[in-house]
């Protein structure tokens, strides 16, 4: 099943594929995502994951999407602070420590 429409003011081309078939066709699915498509992966007919292009939307747009989905609380008119500058691979090291690796 395919969906071509508008979502949040942008055109979205979405395809659905079962988990087993997605495993087999992963390389092709990545090519489609690079071309601008979104791929919804289903397990027994229920959506469980979505492959989307990386970094296309600005941070503030992604934050608004997370707010809309209820993942994070609203910014209430505040602007996002700039990222903290960290030397070398400090951010990666801190992330790995936080994940317990």
Give CATH for domain 2-72.
3.40.1620.10
How far out from the chain centre does Cα 90 lie?
A: 24
Dump pLDDT digits (tens) for 40-52. 999 999 999 999 8
Q: Which residues contact 41 (CB under 8 A, 6 or more apart)?
A: 16, 17, 18, 19, 22, 47, 48, 49, 50, 51
Dump pLDDT digits (tens) for 61-73. 777 777 887 888 8
How many other CB atoms are found less than 10 A from the CB of residue 83?
A: 8
Paired tokens of 93: 């090291």
Domain boundaries in the chain?
2-72
Quote the pTM value.
0.46
The band of 8, judged by pLDDT with boundaries at 50, 70 and 90, is: very low
């Amino acid at each position: 099943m395919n969906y071509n429409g508008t979502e949040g003011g942008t055109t979205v081309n979405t395809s659905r594929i079962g988990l087993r078939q997605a495993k087999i066709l992963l390389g092709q699915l990545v090519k489609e995502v690079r071309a601008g498509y979104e791929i919804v992966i289903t397990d027994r007919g229920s959506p469980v994951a979505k492959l989307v292009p990386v970094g296309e939307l600005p941070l503030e747009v992604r934050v608004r999407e997370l707010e809309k989905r209820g993942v994070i609380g609203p910014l209430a008119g505040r602007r996002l602070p700039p990222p903290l500058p960290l030397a070398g691979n400090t951010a990666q090291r801190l992330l790995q420590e936080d994940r317990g690796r």
